Amino acid sequence: MARDTEKRRAELRDRLLDIAEREVRNNGAASLRARALASEAGCAVGAIYNVFDDMTGLVLAVNGRTFGRLGETVTNAVAKAGPDPTEQLITIARSYLAFASTDPNLWRALFVADMSTDSAVPAWYLQELQRLFAMIAAPLTKLHPDAPPDEIDLMTRTLFSSVHGIILLGLERRISGVPEAKIEEMIGFLLRRVTGADKGRVSGD
């Protein structure tokens, strides 16, 4: 019987996750409703709380999936990239942009700061972030073989945050409404400048 319940719960968990993911993808994390979710999943509202801590926990679970797919996307992209470190960085940034641009709502949900509660940041979250950072640090180390690790780390965070900011504000229609091609151009410009691959020109490639 114990196993039976376990299975039922696992199935319900998956079903809820699927529905929640679809809702976040289509309408954003803010429009998740407990009642609508339960109704569509064919369970009671209370059942959600047998499987997730609360609605925030559910969004967190969605983020887990999203982060996983993001990691794979970027990993695949850099696997196909050439040997030039600068181009590798651009490839990483480009795949990051493509991911964010394809599913902006899922992507934004990764960064909604409802983790206000202390230490509510799950371990896997920081782990996935490290995975991303490591992929950025690798080409940077090739570019600067003599730089100490903490300087590589600082450059990594700087580049990630910069590209993240460009994408964040670029996708926000209120500020610029820049087309995706323009965002790619901005990223390419920034990265080539920072890595020193382009010392003089103003426009990129």
48-57: which pairs have CB atoms within 8 A and are 24 or more residues apart? 48/16, 50/9, 50/12, 51/9, 51/12, 51/13, 51/16, 52/13, 52/16, 56/114
Structure tokens that stand for 69 in this block: 């797919």
Q: Which of a copy of itself, DNA, none does 113 bind, CB closer than 5 to 8 A by kind?
A: a copy of itself
Q: Does 115 bind DNA (CB under 7 A)?
A: no
Site for DNA in 56-85 (CB under 7 A): 56
Could you tell me where the DSSP H helices lie in 42-122?
Answer: 45-51, 55-80, 85-102, 104-109
* Choice from 29, 32, 110, 183 touching DNA (CB under 7 A): 32
- Give whichever of 30 and 44 is closer to a copy of itself, judged by the CB atom: 30
Comparing CB distances to a copy of itself, the nearer of 52 and 160 is 160
Q: In this structure, what token pair is assigned to residue 170?
A: 């670029």
Q: Which stretch binds a copy of itself (CB under 8 A): 54-62, 68-76, 93-101, 156-164?
A: 156-164
115 binds a copy of itself (CB under 8 A): yes
What span, in angstroms and rounded, lies between the C-alpha atoms of 34 and 39?
9
Stretch that binds DNA, among 20-28, 44-52, 60-68, 172-180 (CB under 7 A): 44-52
Single-letter amino acid code for the residue at 18: D
Residue in 9, 69, 182, 201 binding DNA, rule: CB under 7 A: 9
